[in-house]
Amino acid sequence: MIKILITEFINQNSLDLLKDKFKVYYDDQLWEKIDELKEIINDYDGLIVRNKTQVNQDILKKSNNLKFVGRLGVGLDNIDTKFCEEKNIHVQPATGMNADSVVEYVASSSLSLIKKIPLFHNRTIKGDWPRTSIKSEEIKGKVLGLIGFGTIGKKVSNYCSNLGLNVIAYDPYLKDQTSDQNVKFVELDEIYGTSNIISLHLPLTDETKNLINKSSFSKMKEKPIIINTSRGSVINEDDLIEAYNVNLISGFALDVFENEPIKESFYNKIKSNMNCILTPHISGVTTQSNERVCNFITEKTLEFFENR
């Protein structure tokens, strides 16, 4: 019988469906019991993970029966996809299944930060009444610059152009760079130079690590707000805080970080008088998206092994 190992949280419904067809071992904390994982992985034909399990060569070299890795999410930076390819292991992400949740996060944090809601909130709960001292703005007519125009970038563009934002985008790998009424394709420096909001939707690669750094912030003419739902290391976090402190940017929403959970050395720099929103890698995680992601990976797992 086909054996499936699940090392992170999956919905009960999906678990039941998988258990109907396969022999399943489920431990949602197994991702951190690395020695146990290494010991048992050789028994399994399929592995289902989220983003915490490091599916690296250490694990894969011990996985002689593995044929399928299902990722309950989108980013594949915790999986050595090249090595999987060499070992003929199929890697299946839940492409697009959590995109709508990320889009709503980008739109709602853009609105909050442009309207300075975190600043109003933090002062009001202390008994202040900063009705006129903090200047709030409307989002309509502002320029949203997207870096990365794949599954999520495209959806953000459609959603946000309906909010009245003028969307520009940079994605050097996109074949069709035809601008239309919803988006205009530009060079990276134009994103930096003209955007009021910059939102990142690209993968973490050797090329994109630290892409947004001191030099990028120095080119930001409109004091934009920065939104990162992609991967933490795409932005240099020290340079971001410095850019905020010297007024090169007017706010930031970070859902992803270089270290997750964030370290004290980082959160100690975040003060209650900053126009910012920090969340623990949840922009793609809602009740609805989690159900779609689990259903999709369950379907793909069943399909993969039934077709063999």
Which residue bears the tokens 């152009």?
161
CA–centroid distance for 142 within its chain: 23
Please report how close the Cβ of residue 21 comes to ligand NAD at its closest, in angstroms.
Answer: 28
Question: Does residue 157 interact with ligand NAD by CB under 6 A?
Answer: no
Which residue bears the tokens 């060569």?
57
Question: Does residue 149 interact with ligand NAD by CB under 6 A?
Answer: yes
Question: Does residue 150 interact with ligand NAD by CB under 6 A?
Answer: yes
Residue 281 catalytic?
Answer: yes
Please report how close the Cβ of residue 154 comes to ligand NAD at its closest, in angstroms.
Answer: 8
Among residues 2, 74, 197, 262, the one that binds ligand NAD under rule CB under 6 A: 74
Which residue bears the tokens 């890698």?
281
The count of residues in the chain is: 308
Helical H runs in 24-88? 34-40, 57-60, 81-86
Measured CA to CA, the distance from residue 168 to residue 257 in angstroms comes to: 25
- Phi, psi for residue 251 in degrees, rounded to 5: 170, 170
| Number of amino acids touching ligand NAD (CB under 6 A) | 30
Question: Does residue 75 interact with ligand NAD by CB under 6 A?
Answer: yes
Measured CA to CA, the distance from residue 212 to residue 18 in angstroms comes to: 42
**Which residue, judged by CB position, is nearest to ligand NAD in the bound state?**
150
Question: Does residue 53 interact with ligand NAD by CB under 6 A?
Answer: no
Residue 306 catalytic?
Answer: no
Measured CA to CA, the distance from residue 35 to residue 303 in angstroms comes to: 30
Among residues 40, 91, 134, 174, the one that binds ligand NAD under rule CB under 6 A: 174
Residue 90 catalytic?
Answer: no
Among residues 68, 170, 217, 257, the one that binds ligand NAD under rule CB under 6 A: 170
**Which of 50, 71, 201, 231 is an active site residue?**
231
**Which of 36, 86, 260, 303 is an active site residue?**
260
Question: Does residue 207 interact with ligand NAD by CB under 6 A?
Answer: yes
Q: Give yes or no for a contact between 145 and 224, defined as CB atoms under 8 angstroms apart.
A: yes
Annotated catalytic sites, by residue? 231, 260, 281
